[in-house]
Amino acid sequence: MVAAAALTAADPPPAMPQAAGSGGPTARRDFYWLRSFLAGGIAGCCAKTTVAPLDRVKVLLQAHNHHYKHLGVFSALRAVPQKEGYLGLYKGNGAMMIRIFPYGAIQFMAFEHYKMLITTKLGISGHVHRLMAGSMAGMTAVICTYPLDMVRVRLAFQVKGEHTYTGIIHAFKTIYAQEGGFLGFYRGLMPTILGMAPYAGVSFFTFGTLKSVGLSHAPTLLGRPSSDNPNVLVLKTHINLLCGGVAGAIAQTISYPFDVTRRRMQLGTVLPEFEKCLTMRDTMKYVYGHHGIRKGLYRGLSLNYIRCIPSQAVAFTTYELMKQFFHLN
């Protein structure tokens, strides 16, 4: 009985919060999704701010920026502040925050929605529905926020003294005017979606599975009652961080070549080999042919482990805390 209760508590259905007054079911439902949206957005912003310097260096290394292409991860982290000041490590982070709040909000909110939809409409439950819901949520969030990611990458790739774009608005205007209008903001969308489906799916699947298995087998050791609902068990904070980190590491290993391809396609005309990287296939072929697997398709992976593990750990942990703060359990 304890194991069954813990399993249920590990993956509770998103019951609508009760509200006083005569707002009715629709008002209560809207209020729930608004709080869910805020919880996901805050989780995303906290996660990305934590690893913003590593994100900047990752973009520089993935696309072989000529100022830093001869450097490794740690030497690049030292070189960027020397060349561009410490704020150089946060270049493009403004665009990242504008993007990541709706991205995190949509992803976490969509995950809960898809998970419930798959269970109730398709009758699929257990661990599989997390994998499906995570993949669908990741793709939904990517499509909705992709132009902001494009602009963020362009800004992050710039080096002090060689600016093509003066800011977020100028980057939007320039890309729209010079790269085919609205479609110019969706360069590299296909490898992004192909990479996001396994990344988000595996990430949510791994975290959800570790959470439910942990709470079912060792509820007292790993869990505690939720602050907003004592009947719901949640993981202790340090266990949350650990599970989120493991989930991020596994997901990144699977999807990383698509991430490298996406970055190069997003940079577009900024790179000298632009004409050789017009499609996903051409880009992967070019990167593999010129740089191989380790220094090409998986270049910067060690940095991605360093950045992704704390990022995912913070994201999942913050979201779990925000769920309690906004009374979503």
Q: At 106, is the pLDDT very low, low, confident or very high (cuts 50, 70, 90)?
A: very high
Tens of pLDDT along 35-72? 888 998 999 889 888 888 888 888 787 777 788 877 87
Taking the C-alpha atoms of residue 216 and residue 327, their distance in angstroms, rounded to an integer, is 23
Cα–Cα distance, 84 to 33 (Å, whole number): 42
pLDDT digits 0-9 by tens, 246-289: 998 899 888 888 888 888 888 777 777 777 777 888 888 888 88
The structure's pTM equals: 0.67
Q: How much is the average pLDDT of 91-108?
A: 85
What mean pLDDT do residues 103-117 have?
89
SS3 assignment, position 272: coil
Q: What is the mean pLDDT of residues 6-25?
A: 41
* Confidence class for position 9, pLDDT limits 50, 70, 90: very low
b/e for 268-295, b at 16 or more Cβ within 10 A?
bebbeeeeebeebeebbebbeeeeeeee
**Looking at residue 29, what is its pLDDT?**
55
110's tokens: 């969509």
